[in-house]
Every structure is written in structure tokens, then in C-alpha cells.
């Protein structure tokens, strides 16, 4: 029978005990990692969230009754032990923080027995993730996950302390709000009191934090839960957490500065890193031109080079046609890779096609300076030499070229650059290369053939570009910025529009009528009539920040109870059907699934 805690008090966590406590009596509690009965002596490894501690049961210390009880201990039993700390008599275990001590038990309470778990509770589990997620409460006992969640908690605490110190107020915003079909799909919650009406779960606190600025709160932050009903990719969750902030009376520089100090603090405290400020910055245009990505990984070079001018009169039709159609020809130099086997090159060509390339041209510079490759026969030797020079190619190098529309060439070479870095092992896990990407385009052209806000409809255009909004809207840059770490976007934000005329025009460009704009965010537009300070903000994906800090491969490893790719929870089996009665109350009728 499980015993109670009556009269017992834990004195230490397992690894809070050290050589300094030798001779003291301590009371420890936790789970049995494993217990080995070696005849007259029982060795039990006790585990709590701090780590492991060795307990020794010997009849001479604890008496027959306790010894016999200890003989029945099995993995994952929950126990409390009172005992005396002694220096280890056997070999010191270097791998254990408490490897030079042990606790000789005097008393034992079995607080809970345990069935055999479906997989071992151990570091670096090899158990399939599906099984671990079904029993997530057991998975969460594993030291690596406990470490990750402990660090996540520290990040939250440090963030709160830092922002409070900087004059930010932590304010909660509602999570039952009105649906605004901008951006991703909303999660909807039916209203019982208003049948046929729905709340939406927030995709971010965007409108509310801007309203808080209108209300004079000046500097706001929140660790906000956000929901987006997207088709999930590997690094997405339907619900996730943002470190969300908004500031009044600021411009881009102010937001970047306070956030650089926040990052400096977090990465110093958690990773022991000394970030040099200011962090590196690139405009969006530069990032695309040099790295083919708006979130370039800066741990390595291999920059894109524009060779359009060099090949503009050459005889290679692929290059010619791309340029004639208003496109571009660019290349990257895989230094020292001239000997890459044909099979590997072919695989890279296929990889490039996955990003929309019709093909990928390549050329190796041989040791004797001659050229060998897919298009050498279409060009004169001097043209090839000029191309190699433009690429800073030396004997032994392998050059890749893409010729197409700008967007395709960026995407193809940007991804090829990353793939080559992976293959050549250039992505060091312990390097942290931060980058601000600024001056994003204000608009992007959507698949449905209309302009969409690249960040969101409240983002401020750059003053110097605003006159182009009618003549050349694509050329208008925004006061928007992203913070990027090792090729991952950690967060982003913008200065907001606070002038009614600019906001009105912006909504018009985005295809809103006066009515539809009012229907969706009338309360914000109204609020802006009553005196609104210039304001700006930013939000980080907390899950991603922690993932990169701990070097995890997936954000699932830094979220206590994550969902899987189809947005379901394997443990609690959400989403699930509900009682007919609940549906009736909500006035909802569920259509039969059409037969497959
Ligand atoms: N609300 C924005 C987002 O979720 C961030 C911001 O602009 O502050 O991306």
C-alpha cells in the first residue's frame, strides 16, 4: 500500500547534496531509476528533476524490515528515504554530479508503486517519438526534456525581469476574440449564448497591443499563447508562445536596441555567450541578393554572385533566355569541390528543381585551369574565364548557376547554398550568428493576384518610398524587421502606421473597402481617431528561441505537451467528438463525412 508523507519533509533535491554534507542526515524523495540487490547490499539510484543520487540499503544501517522493503523496489517507484551522507566507498562515478557520495538509508517509505513503463526513462531515448508522445508524462521524466523545460522556464523568468526593468508592463489580452481572416486560418470557438456566432483564438495579440498603446500603456509585453490553423510543417505547432511586445514613441532603432540587449542578456545567462552589439544588419534586398534568403544563415559564406552582365552576350541559350525575359543569372562557388562525383552533382540538380529551377548549370575548374561542366561547350574560353573570375573561382572549385526570374534564382541558390553547407559540414551547432533583416517590402503579390501586406496591414511604409504607392507599389519598403539566428527567424515586428490617411490608403491597396475594413478592425480604426502615439513592436517565437538555445532538433522537444503534424495530441487524443447535447446547445449540426 502506498504510504503517506505524514511527518516527512524533503531536505534536499538529489544533486543538492555533495561532499560538504558528509555526516549529515538528509531526507530525499523521488523515483527509483534502478535498484540492484547484490545479496547483503542494495544499490538504488534515486532520480528527481535535479539528477541522480545513489542510495545504499544495508541491514546493519536500516534494520531487517526496511531492508526487505527495499528489496522489493522497482524502477519508477516513488520513495522517500532518510539517511546519512557518506563518501563513496566504491569507485567514484565521474559521470554523475553526486558520483563521489552516497546516502546510507535508515528509513524508507514507498509513496507509490509503479507499473513497468512502456519505454525506459533515460537520456537520448531511442524509443519512437509517437510512443513517447502517447505517454508524454513519462517522456517528460527524461533528463533531456527536464533540462529543456527548465531552461525554457529560466528564459521566461529572465525575459520578465529584463523587460520589467526596462519599464515594460505585463498585460494579458483576450484569447476569445473576433475572427480576422488576414494571414493564417483562425481556430474558431462557437458561442452558446449567440448561436451561429464564433470567437476566434488569436493568431497574435497584434490589435490589442496596439490598442494598449492608444490607451497610454507605453511599453507592453506578454508571453502570449497564439493559435494558427496551418498545415503543419516540421517546426510548427498549432498553438505556440510568443514573447510579444509593443512600445510607444519609438522608431526602428529604439526597438532594435532594446531587443539586442534582451538577447544579449538571455544568451549570456543561458548559453554563456558574449554577444557583441550592435548585431549585424542587412536590408532585405541585400539579404536576398547575397544569400538568396530573407533569413540567411550567417555561419558560413558561399554568397550568391550576380553574373548577368558577364554572360549577357554569351552563346548559352538558357542564360540568354532568362535575361531576355527580365530575369537574372547568378551563381555560387563551392570552393574546393571540383572533384565532386557526378552522382552527387546530379542529386543537387534534382534538389534545385524542387525549388522551381528548370535546371542547374555547373562548371568545375580543373587543376590545370581548364573548365568542365554542363555548358562549357556553349561558351568561348574567354567567356568561361571571365565567368570564373566573376565567381572568384580558382582551380579546384565547383561553380553552380541558376538562370530564371529573380525570385526563383534566389530560392534555388539560397537553398542550394544551405544544402551544400549541410553536406560540407559548415553548420556548427555551437556557433550563434545573429542578424537583423530590415526594410522588408511592404507588399507581396499573392497567388490570388492581389496585393497582401508582407508583415501585416498596420505596418508603416518607409517615408522615402511612400510616394511610390500608386506608381510602383512593389518598390515600397516597410519599417519591418526580423531577427534571425543561424538561418531561423526568431521573431519579427514593425513600426506601425499611426496616421489615419496612410492607414486608409494602405487598406485600399490591400483591397479592403471602407465597409470591410470597418467590419474587421473598426475598433482599431476608431481608436486611432482619439489620439494615437507613434508605436512599434516585435514578437519572438519563444519555442524556437529555446530550441536553438538548447540545440534541440524540434520545437516539440521544448514544449511540455506538443501536438503532432496533423495537429492532434497523441496523449489526450484531442481533437475529439463531443456529446450530441453540447452540439445542440451550440446550435451546431455536424455533416456526415462523405464516404471515402
Ligand atoms: N504580431 C506580429 C506577429 O505575430 C509581430 C509584431 O508585429 O509585433 O508576427
Distance CA 484, CA 282 (A): 11
Confidence band (pLDDT; 50, 70, 90) for 89?
confident
H/E stretch holding 580 reads: helix 580-586
For residue 496, give the DSSP letter: B
pLDDT for residue 448? 82
Distance of CA 173 from the midpoint of ligand 1 (Å)? 14
Q: Can you tell me the distance from the alpha carbon of 407 to that of 457, in angstroms, rounded to the nearest whole number?
A: 23
- Categorize the per-residue pLDDT at 234 as very low, low, confident or very high, splitting at 50, 70 and 90: low
Are 51 and 143 in contact, with CB atoms under 8 Å apart? yes
Tens of pLDDT along 438-478? 999 999 988 888 899 999 999 999 999 999 999 999 999 99
Q: Determine if ligand 1 sits within 6 Å of the CB of residue 205.
A: no
Q: Mutation test of ligand 1: which of 258, 456, 460, 538 has the most ligand atoms closer than 8 Å to its C-beta? A: 456
> Does residue 329 register a pLDDT over 80?
yes
The three-state secondary structure class of 74 is coil
The answer, yes or no, to whether any atom of ligand 1 lies below 6 A from the CB of 537, is yes
Residue closest via CA to ligand 1's atom 4 equals 204
Task: Kindly give the distance from the C-alpha atom of residue 242 to the centroid of ligand 1, in angstroms, as a whole number.
Answer: 9
- Give the residue, out of 177, 182, 206, 453, with the most ligand 1 atoms within 8 A of its beta carbon, to mutate for a pocket test: 206
- pLDDT one-digit tens code per residue, 27-46: 999 999 999 999 899 999 99
Lowest pLDDT segment from 218-222, 231-235, 316-320, 424-428? 231-235
pLDDT class for 596, splitting at 50, 70, 90? Answer: low
Q: Does the C-beta of 483 come closer than 6 Å to ligand 1?
A: no
CA 252 to centroid of ligand 1, rounded, Å: 14
The pLDDT score that the predictor gives to residue 235 is 74
Residue bearing cell 494579458: 172
Q: Is the CB of 224 under 6 A from ligand 1?
A: no
- CA pair distance 426, 298, nearest whole angstrom: 11
The alpha carbon of 78 and the centre of ligand 1 are apart by a number of angstroms equal to 45
What's the CA-to-centroid distance between 232 and ligand 1, angstroms? 19
Q: pTM to 2 decimals?
A: 0.94
- Residue 182: the pLDDT is 64
Q: Which atom of ligand 1 is nearest to the CA of 494?
A: 7
Q: Is 538 in the pocket of ligand 1 (CB under 6 A)?
A: yes
202 lines ligand 1 (CB under 6 A): no
Pocket probe for ligand 1: among 438, 539, 542, the residue whose CB has the most ligand atoms within 8 Å is: 539
Q: Cα(377)–Cα(509) distance, rounded to whole angstroms?
A: 49
Residue nearest to atom 8 of ligand 1 (CA): 538
Put residue 320 in one of left, alpha, beta given phi > 0 → left and psi -120 to 50 → alpha. Answer: alpha
Residue at grid coordinates 534515486: 46
**Alpha helices (H) along 500-575:** 500-509, 514-527, 542-550
Average pLDDT of the chain, as a whole number: 95
d(CA 197, CA 212): 26
What are the strands of the beta sheet with 434-438, ordered from one edge?
Answer: 169-170, 219-227, 239-248, 535-541, 488-495, 480-485, 434-438, 281-283
> How far is CA 214 from each of CA 207, 337, 479, rounded to the nearest angstrom?
11, 57, 20
- Per-residue confidence at 401, pLDDT binned at 50, 70, 90? very high
Interval 328-332 mean pLDDT: 97
Q: What mean pLDDT do residues 365-385 have?
A: 91
Whether the pLDDT of residue 55 is over 80: the answer is: yes
**pLDDT tier, 308 (very low <50, low <70, confident <90, very high otherwise):** very high
Is the CB–ligand 1 distance for residue 490 below 6 Å? Answer: no
Query: Does the Cβ of 492 fall within 6 Å of ligand 1?
Result: yes
* pLDDT for residue 403: 97
pLDDT on residue 7: 94
Check if 293 has its Cβ closer than 6 Å to any atom of ligand 1: no
- Backbone φ and ψ for 78, nearest 5 degrees, come out as -100, 125
Q: What is the pLDDT of residue 110?
A: 98
Closest CA to 98 of 106, 88, 107, 83: 88
Find the helix packing angle between 143-165 and 252-271, rounded to 10°. 140
The confidence score (pLDDT) of residue 592 equals 81
* pLDDT at residue 255, as a whole number: 98
Query: In a 10 Å sphere around its CB, with 0-12 CB exposed, 13-18 middle and 19+ buried, how is residue 137 labelled?
Result: exposed
Residue 205 alpha carbon, nearest atom of ligand 1 = 1
For 539-550, what is the mean pLDDT?
Answer: 97
Q: Residue 421 C-alpha to ligand 1 middle, in angstroms?
A: 30
Burial class, 43, CB count within 10 angstroms (exposed 0-12 / middle 13-18 / buried 19+): middle
**DSSP tag of 455:** S
Q: State how far the Cα of 595 lies from the Cα of 172, in Å rounded to an integer.
A: 44
**How confident is the model at residue 162, as a pLDDT?**
98
Give how far Cα 402 sits from Cα of 165, 172, 289, 304, 385, Å: 50, 49, 13, 10, 18
Closest atom of ligand 1 to 245 CA is 8
- pLDDT-above-90 percentage for the chain: 91
Model confidence band, residue 537 (pLDDT cutoffs 50, 70, 90)? very high
Amino acid at each position: 500500500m502506498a504510504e503517506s508523507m505524514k511527518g516527512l519533509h524533503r531536505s534536499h533535491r538529489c544533486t543538492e547534496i555533495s561532499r560538504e554534507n558528509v555526516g549529515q542526515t538528509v531526507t530525499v524523495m523521488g523515483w527509483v531509476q534502478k535498484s540492484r540487490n547484490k545479496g547483503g547490499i542494495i544499490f538504488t539510484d534515486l532520480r528527481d528533476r535535479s539528477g541522480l543520487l545513489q542510495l545504499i540499503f544495508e541491514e546493519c544501517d536500516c534494520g531487517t524490515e526496511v531492508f526487505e522493503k527495499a528489496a522489493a523496489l522497482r524502477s519508477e517507484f516513488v520513495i522517500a528515504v532518510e539517511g546519512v551522507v557518506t563518501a563513496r566507498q566504491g569507485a567514484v562515478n565521474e559521470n554523475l554530479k553526486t558520483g563521489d557520495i552516497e546516502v546510507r538509508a535508515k528509513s524508507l517509505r514507498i509513496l507509490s508503486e509503479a507499473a513497468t513503463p512502456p519505454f525506459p526513462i533515460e537520456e537520448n531515448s531511442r524509443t519512437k517519438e509517437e510512443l513517447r508522445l502517447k505517454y508524454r508524462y513519462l517522456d517528460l521524466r527524461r533528463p533531456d526534456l527536464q533540462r529543456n523545460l527548465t531552461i525554457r522556464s529560466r528564459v521566461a523568468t529572465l525575459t520578465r525581469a529584463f523587460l520589467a526593468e526596462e519599464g515594460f508592463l505585463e498585460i494579458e489580452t483576450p484569447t476569445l476574440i473576433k475572427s480576422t481572416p488576414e494571414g493564417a486560418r483562425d481556430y474558431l470557438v462557437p458561442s452558446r449564448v449567440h448561436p451561429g456566432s464564433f470567437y476566434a483564438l488569436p493568431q497574435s495579440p497584434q490589435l490589442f497591443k496596439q490598442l494598449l498603446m492608444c490607451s497610454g500603456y507605453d511599453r507592453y509585453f506578454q508571453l502570449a499563447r497564439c493559435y494558427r490553423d496551418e498545415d503543419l510543417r516540421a517546426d510548427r505547432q498549432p498553438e505556440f508562445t510568443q514573447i510579444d511586445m509593443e512600445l510607444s514613441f519609438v522608431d526602428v532603432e529604439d526597438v532594435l536596441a532594446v531587443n539586442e540587449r534582451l538577447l544579449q542578456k538571455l544568451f549570456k545567462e543561458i548559453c554563456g555567450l558574449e554577444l557583441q552589439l550592435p548585431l549585424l544588419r542587412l536590408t532585405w534586398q541585400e539579404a536576398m541578393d547575397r544569400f538568396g534568403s530573407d533569413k540567411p544563415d550567417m555561419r558560413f559564406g558561399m554568397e550568391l554572385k550576380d553574373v548577368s552582365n558577364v554572360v549577357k552576350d554569351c552563346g548559352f541559350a538558357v542564360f540568354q533566355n532568362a535575361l531576355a525575359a527580365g530575369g537574372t543569372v547568378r551563381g555560387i562557388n563551392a570552393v574546393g569541390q571540383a572533384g565532386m562525383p557526378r552522382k552527387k552533382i546530379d542529386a543537387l540538380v534534382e534538389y534545385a528543381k524542387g525549388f522551381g529551377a528548370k535546371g542547374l548549370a555547373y562548371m568545375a575548374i580543373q587543376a590545370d585551369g581548364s573548365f568542365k561542366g554542363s555548358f562549357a561547350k556553349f561558351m568561348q574560353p574567354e567567356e568561361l574565364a571571365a565567368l570564373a573570375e566573376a565567381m572568384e573561382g580558382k582551380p579546384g572549385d565547383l561553380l553552380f548557376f541558376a538562370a530564371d526570374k529573380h525570385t526563383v534564382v534566389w530560392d534555388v541558390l539560397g537553398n542550394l547554398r544551405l544544402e551544400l553547407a549541410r553536406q560540407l559540414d559548415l553548420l556548427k551547432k555551437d556557433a550563434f550568428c545573429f542578424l537583423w533583416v530590415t526594410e522588408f517590402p511592404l507588399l507581396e503579390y499573392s497567388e490570388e493576384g492581389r496585393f497582401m501586406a508582407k508583415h501585416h496591414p498596420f505596418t508603416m511604409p518607409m517615408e522615402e518610398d511612400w510616394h511610390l504607392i500608386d506608381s510602383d507599389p512593389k518598390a515600397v519598403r516597410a519599417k519591418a524587421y526580423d531577427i534571425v539566428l543561424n538561418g531561423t527567424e526568431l521573431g519579427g515586428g514593425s513600426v506601425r502606421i499611426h496616421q489615419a490617411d496612410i492607414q486608409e490608403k494602405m487598406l485600399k491597396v490591400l483591397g479592403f473597402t471602407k465597409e470591410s475594413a470597418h467590419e474587421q478592425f473598426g475598433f482599431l480604426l476608431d481608436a486611432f481617431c482619439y489620439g494615437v502615439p507613434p508605436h512599434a513592436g516585435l514578437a519572438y517565437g519563444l519555442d524556437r528561441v529555446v530550441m536553438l538555445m538548447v540545440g534541440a532538433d524540434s520545437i516539440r522537444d521544448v514544449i511540455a505537451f506538443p501536438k503532432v503534424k496533423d495537429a492532434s495530441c497523441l496523449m489526450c487524443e484531442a481533437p475529439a467528438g463531443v456529446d450530441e447535447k453540447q452540439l445542440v446547445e451550440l446550435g451546431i449540426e455536424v455533416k456526415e463525412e462523405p464516404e471515402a
